[in-house]
Amino acid sequence: MSPEDAVASVPLAGSRKSPSEYVASMRGKKVIVKLIGGSIFKGYLASLDGYLNIALEQTEEWNSEGTGVIGTFGDALIRGNNVYYISLEE
């Protein structure tokens, strides 16, 4: 077996879900966006692009501990370079 074959025959351990597929499944749902600065935004995901620029609707800003709302906005656009992660609100 050549080294190339050896690589190809490594079984995939789990299901693969690429970031783009994941994003597609999140559209319209309530999400939590954490920024590099630590603040947390919750809102309905209106749209999102490859730079992770995020448009949210009915946005709430939470403090970094996630214990209290700081402010509310209607629509908000978050520039992608500030985004640390996006998570679905359960």
Partner 1 sequence: MERELQRYGPLRWDFERGAVGCAAGLIAWRPVARAPYRPQLIDKCIGSRIWLLLHGESELVGTLCGFDQHVNMVLEDVTEIQVNPDGSRLQLPVRKSMLLSGNNIAMLIPGGSPSDISA
**Footprint on this chain of partner 1 (rule: CB under 8 A):** 4, 7-10, 12-23, 26, 32, 36, 52, 66, 80-81, 83-88, 90
Contact between residue 17 and residue 73 where contact means Cβ atoms under 8 Å apart: no
Shortest distance, CB of residue 82 to partner 1, whole angstroms? 9
Residue placing its CB nearer to partner 1 in the complex, 1 or 74: 1
- C-beta closer to partner 1: residue 16 or 74: 16
How far is residue 58's CA from residue 6's CA, in Å, rounded to a whole number?
Answer: 51
- Side-chain-side CA neighbours of residue 25 (13 Å): 10
